[in-house]
Amino acid sequence: MTSSFFFLQTEKNEENQQLLDVLEEWASSEKKQIYVVDRPLGDEKYEYGHEGHVIILAPGRKICLVNFGEADDDFEEFVEDFIEDLGSISDKYNYKDSIGRPRKWRDQLIWEVPDGHSLDIDAYVEESFISDPSKRRVSELLISLITGSINDIERTRSDVPDNLLDKVKKKIILFDGDQTRFIYQQIDKKSVHIQGLSGTGKTELLLHKLRDIYVKNPSAKIVLTCHNRILAYSLQKRIPEFFNFMRVEQQIEWNKRLWCMHAWGSQSNPNSGTYRYICSHFDIPFFTFGDGSFDLACKRAIKAIEEKKKDTFAFDYILIDESQDFPQSFIDLCEVSAREYVVVAGDVFQSIFDAKIRPSISPDFLLSKCYRTDPRALMFAHSLGMGLFEKRKLRWLEDDEWSTCGYLVETNPDKSFYRLRREPLRRFEDISNSDFDSVAIIEEDTESDQEVADLVIKAINEICEEHPTTTPDDIGIILVDSGRTIYRLADKLEQLIPRKTGWPVNKAFETKMRTAGSIFISNRNNVKGLEFPFVICVSRRINRSYPYRNSLYMTLTRSFLKSYLILSSSQDEDMMSQIRYGLSIINEKGFIEAQPPTEEERSEIMTTITQANVKASFFDLCENIFDELEVLPIFRKELRKVVTATSGEDFDRDEVLEIARFNYTKMLKKEG
């Protein structure tokens, strides 16, 4: 299996094979990213007459142009053309003002090797290294241009940040080998599957793939689809922003060349959903929520299309996000409706309590690196969510499942003791385990809202003292508990934070969006897809319910620098001592230490998870949510009608909860 630390775009041959093999081995063993290409990626117009050259790219190192051909004059011509093209790309993405014209960086950052046979790994490692931090950043910005991993130059710039927060915020983002392969590798099959944990960059990669297809295929019909209406709306807003950022010169032709919509749709509008459009294109019956499940509707559509035996297609390319939310029949329907291919992107496991972690279909691209979160914070979030520190585990994975989720597994011969660690990430390479903890647990008396609010203010003050460049946008406050108490606390924080800090507050469970210049406050149902340098997670008491532990996991992984967990001091002391010790091992040694459950305990765990994952009926789900919201009996029948009409049949609990809360509030106000 090709390492994610190595990407090869050029053709391997007898001349360059030895060097390329050694470079790949070095990248994998040293865990250093290396790309080997023969031209800038992302645009087919860059072609060179010279044959036999390779371009070696590695963060923090000179761009190495190596000649394996015979004609020195042709190689020199290639070098000049390549540098000219790189300057042109720099100008296109507004990098030039930050890094300067090629004459400013050519001599210091470009290393020409006229005879590639003389280059070995020792010479490359020694000669290519750049010691000056500012020149290293310019080199990385140039690499981002060559590989198509375009950064916002206003955020990154070429100047070197002088503090930890800005070092991480302004880190130059480079796609790893797996991500780059997904974007640029030629697809020669009907469907390609990409899977990974939350935070591995799946949606961002889909946008890059979408842009690549749109630019290279001017007459193609493309749809980006997902299950959730809210996500579809969000993606529809992101696409124009992304295309503008990537300097796509072609105008977006909505509902002619490009569609972005959720899966089902409505009878009145063929462009309201992917399934609805397919039914319209093939002139087959469209089934609504009242006619049966989405799974059944897709199966009926496939049968109807096959019976028509028409050699037409609804779309040329179909891109599916969050594929784990769909039945297999929808993916099958997309395959029969796409002329070229379908890209299927999904989470390895959306919940840490999914009964099955192994992908049902072996993915073509498995993304195991979570780039959003510091590896130590991710390890703690998994450990706390699964109960790995506790004597009675809530979840355990098999060795191959741990590997699928990005863990390196170490165990003794009888497997009675495990150490689980994650590979380092470039985004966090400036953080030293010895001088910075990525998780802090605050345990104090939190019986009143005022006491909890005071602890939140204390955490905000600590963040600002340790990181003076902190802004309101850098902090997210997530209230993990359920019930009305969290809304009282949110109201208290809305009053207290502006008085104590001068910063406004955005209660996202009401606004449904992030507001620039405000501290973000939310319940646990509005955090998917978000990230902050700092997250303050508030919970009165840790309990062992699966939804609660999964919410802790989701919340703690929203931070990319540090998470604060505020708890009441009145906890189970045995459990808390185990959690504190487990966190200390992660912070000090960089791995999880855990004893696996026995076979009997594993069987009990899986049985409990399977039972917990049995989906309740829609009626029962609504009743549970109405109980949680304390909905009065006289409103329940009407509220259930509204929720049913809005949410659809393949319901998402978080979505139903928000719809119910919003409409119940309206009903109460209307009553007076």
pLDDT of amino acid 660 = 85
> What separation, in Å, do the N-terminal and C-terminal C-alpha atoms of the chain show?
65
Distance CA 517, CA 456 (A): 18
Contact 271, 259 (CB under 8 A): yes
* Percent of the chain scoring above 90 in pLDDT: 50
Extended beta strands in 446-569, E state? 475-479, 505-507, 519-523, 532-538, 559-568
Q: Is the dihedral of CA 558, 563, 566, 571 positive or negative?
A: positive
Query: Who wins on pLDDT, 340 or 601?
Result: 340
Categorize the per-residue pLDDT at 510 as very low, low, confident or very high, splitting at 50, 70 and 90: confident
Whether this prediction's pTM lies above 0.75 is answered by yes
Categorize the per-residue pLDDT at 612 as very low, low, confident or very high, splitting at 50, 70 and 90: low
**To 5 degrees, how large is the angle CA 135–CA 138–CA 144?**
145
What DSSP string describes 114-140?
Answer: S-GGG--HHHHHHHHB---HHHHHHHH
- Summarize pLDDT for 592-607 with one digit per residue, the tens: 999 999 988 888 887 7
Categorize the per-residue pLDDT at 199 as very low, low, confident or very high, splitting at 50, 70 and 90: confident
* Percent of the chain scoring above 70 in pLDDT: 93
Distance CA 383, CA 587 (A): 13
Average of per-residue pLDDT across 385-395: 92
Distance CA 520, CA 102 (A): 42
Joined together, the tokens standing for residue 139 give 């080199």
Q: Is 52 left (phi over 0), alpha (psi -120 to 50) or beta?
A: left
> What own/partner pairs with CB < 8 Å and gap ≥ 24 does 628-632 have?
628/482, 628/483, 628/657, 629/484, 629/657, 629/660, 629/661, 629/664, 630/484, 631/660, 631/664
Categorize the per-residue pLDDT at 444 as very low, low, confident or very high, splitting at 50, 70 and 90: confident
Joined together, the tokens standing for residue 259 give 């569609």
- Reduced to 3 states (helix: H, G, I; strand: E, B; else coil), residue 603 is helix
pLDDT of amino acid 251 = 93
Distance CA 364, CA 345 (A): 10
Three-state SS for 462-491 is HHHHHCCCCCHHHEEEEECCCCCHHHHHHH
**Helix ranges restricted to H, 228-273:** 229-245
Contact 444, 455 (CB under 8 A): yes
Report how far apart, in Å, the C-alpha atoms of 414 and of each of 411, 418, 594, 639, 654 are.
8, 10, 14, 56, 42
Joined together, the tokens standing for residue 635 give 């409103």
Residue 26 pLDDT > 60: yes
| Amino acid making up residue 278 | I
- Reduced to 3 states (helix: H, G, I; strand: E, B; else coil), residue 186 is coil
pLDDT of amino acid 643 = 80
CA atoms within 13 A on the CB side of 620: 4
Q: Which of 510-514, 643-647, 662-666 has the highest mean pLDDT?
A: 662-666
Residues 6+ apart with CB under 8 A from 481: 538, 539, 540
79-83, 253-257, 406-410, 542-546: least confident range: 542-546
Query: Who wins on pLDDT, 30 or 433?
Result: 30
Joined together, the tokens standing for residue 277 give 């459009």
Residue 316 pLDDT > 90: yes
Query: Who wins on pLDDT, 512 or 537?
Result: 537
- Find tokens 């793939």 and name the residue: 209
Query: For all residues of the chain together, what is the average pLDDT?
Result: 87
Q: Where along the chain do its domains lie? A: 6-160, 184-367, 375-599, 617-669
- Summarize pLDDT for 394-442 with one digit per residue, the tens: 999 888 888 888 899 999 998 999 999 998 877 777 666 556 788 999 9
Distance CA 4, CA 115 (A): 28
Contact 193, 365 (CB under 8 A): yes
Categorize the per-residue pLDDT at 540 as very low, low, confident or very high, splitting at 50, 70 and 90: confident
Contact 223, 318 (CB under 8 A): yes
Residue 359 pLDDT > 50: no
pLDDT of amino acid 73 = 78
Residue 354 pLDDT > 80: no
Average of per-residue pLDDT across 130-140: 92
**Tally of residues, the chain:** 672
Distance CA 399, CA 349 (A): 16
Q: Judging by DSSP bridges, how do beta strands 191-196 and 532-538 pair with one another?
A: unpaired
Considering only CA atoms, which of 371, 428, 429 is closest in space to residue 197? 371
Average of per-residue pLDDT across 57-65: 95
Helix 633-647 × helix 618-629 angle, to 10° = 130
Residue 526 pLDDT > 90: no
Distance CA 34, CA 177 (A): 8
Average of per-residue pLDDT across 290-296: 85
Contact 63, 129 (CB under 8 A): no
Q: Judging by DSSP bridges, how do beta strands 258-262 and 222-226 pair with one another?
A: parallel
pLDDT of amino acid 513 = 75
Distance CA 94, CA 518 (A): 29
Query: Who wins on pLDDT, 302 or 647?
Result: 302
Contact 110, 65 (CB under 8 A): yes
Distance CA 345, CA 324 (A): 8
Distance CA 441, CA 566 (A): 6
Contact 175, 9 (CB under 8 A): no
Residues 6+ apart with CB under 8 A from 361: 193
Decide yes or no: CATH 3.40.50.300 for domain 375-599.
yes
Q: Judging by DSSP bridges, how do beta strands 365-367 and 407-411 pair with one another?
A: unpaired
Joined together, the tokens standing for residue 424 give 């380092």
pLDDT of amino acid 29 = 92
CATH number belonging to domain 184-367? 3.40.50.300
Joined together, the tokens standing for residue 20 give 């390329």
Q: Is the dihedral of CA 285, 289, 292, 297 positive or negative?
A: positive
**To 5 degrees, how large is the angle CA 384–CA 387–CA 392?**
160
pLDDT of amino acid 78 = 92
Distance CA 134, CA 161 (A): 10
Residue 655 pLDDT > 70: no
Q: Does the fold of domain 375-599 match that of domain 184-367?
A: yes
Categorize the per-residue pLDDT at 360 as very low, low, confident or very high, splitting at 50, 70 and 90: very low
Distance CA 214, CA 257 (A): 8
Considering only CA atoms, which of 494, 488, 496 is closest in space to residue 506? 494
pLDDT of amino acid 668 = 86
Report how far apart, in Å, the C-alpha atoms of 425 and of each of 147, 371, 436, 553 are.
18, 7, 16, 20
Q: Judging by DSSP bridges, how do beta strands 505-507 and 519-523 pair with one another?
A: parallel
